Structure 1
């Protein structure tokens, strides 16, 4: 038989492993509802936080503390499934810039609650977009094993043209040159989006300089 102290330690270890499995099944990040649906009381989360096994990343969302750091892409997917990667982050994923963004640039519906995005990690830069522009050019891309929502190349180029004055000039010029030489570009689609976003004249002028 186990000594009483060792028995208690074994029970805690077994309990810990069954709780950890819930996180494992959700890429290391869960909503509180994921935990309670698995049959466990929400007060267990508080205990796991006190024990240093779990951290709270924002209200209602929790992350297991593995030895290896959880991919930021997993966090973005879990916390913000409605968000769309845009601007500098999209440029980076399309290899239109060599600069790694200091934050994840995410587009969300203009009516989204701002409190949702108050997290310490990863860093976020949020763009609140009106409905008529928000739904244009949504695509997907695989990054770090995750399928992420992202604006396609043409929507991304229209966005940076629209926000040119707020961008680093070198990053902007490199992105335009990269798009102009990209075999996957679709100029007809670019012009279509530019019309929808009221940047047609500027887009034709800028793109025309490189093509």
Structure 2
């Protein structure tokens, strides 16, 4: 394909730029879900924080970026895509896989933290999430009696060093 033809296809909208050097056809079967696209750019990363909370219906906040967690050791300078907008958090090798599960999103497998890990992360990154949102996520988690595991939540809270926050809220909530 000539450069002229390529530029013509981009200008007409037949091709869409995903990131520098990567284009896709508009009508292709490529995923249009931001989580799936982000997972394809960073296959070892795990969907986390607001994005995971939104996926699990724990918050009313719609994340502006796809938030992902990578291991802090061995992570080199990352080349970020133009789209989707991705925010990276880092976690130790010891805790990176804690609470990770794989789910199907638009027929693609995505690594994401489970509900308990997501609640803990909201308190772990309190300076980025804010206390109001962390409490909202906690209340929504506790309100879903069929899908909560308080023992697992407290176990994760100990391992992630947010036990003092989580245990106080659990105690107040369930007496």
Q: Is TM (by shorter chain) over 0.5?
A: yes
* Larger helix percent: 1
Q: 1:197 aligns with which of 160, 163, 174?
A: 160
Instruction: Flag the 1:74–1:195 CA change in 2: closer, same or farther, 3 A.
Output: closer
1:112 equivalent in structure 2: 75
1:100 equivalent in structure 2: 62
- 1:155 equivalent to 2:100? Answer no
Q: What TM-score, normalized to structure 2?
A: 0.81
Secondary structure in structure 2 of the residue aligned to 1:125: strand
- 1:210 equivalent to 2:165? Answer no
Instruction: Flag the 1:150–1:128 CA change in 2: closer, same or farther, 3 A.
Output: same
Answer yes or no: is the 8 Å Cα contact 1:49–1:55 preserved in 2: no
Answer yes or no: is the 8 Å Cα contact 1:141–1:148 preserved in 2: yes
Within 2, Cα distance between the matches of 1:91 and 1:84?
13
- Greater radius of gyration (CA): 1
Q: Give the Å deviation of 1:49.
A: 4.2
Answer yes or no: is the 8 Å Cα contact 1:45–1:54 preserved in 2: no
Q: Give the Å deviation of 1:58.
A: 4.2
Q: 1:121 aligns with which of 69, 83, 87?
A: 83
Q: Give the Å deviation of 1:120.
A: 1.6
1:188 equivalent in structure 2: 151
Answer yes or no: is the 8 Å Cα contact 2:48–2:68 preserved in 1: yes
Moved more, 163-172 or 104-113: 163-172
Within 2, Cα distance between the matches of 1:45 and 1:90?
42
Moved more, 190-199 or 120-129: 190-199
1:98-140 alpha-carbon deviations (Å, 9 max, x no partner): 1210000100111323333x22211111102221121211112
Instruction: Flag the 1:180–1:150 CA change in 2: closer, same or farther, 3 A.
Output: same
Within 1, Cα distance between the matches of 2:46 and 2:83?
18
Larger relative contact order (CA 8 Å, sep ≥ 6)? 2
2:38 equivalent in structure 1: 76
Q: What TM-score, normalized to structure 1?
A: 0.68
Answer yes or no: is the 8 Å Cα contact 1:137–1:155 preserved in 2: yes
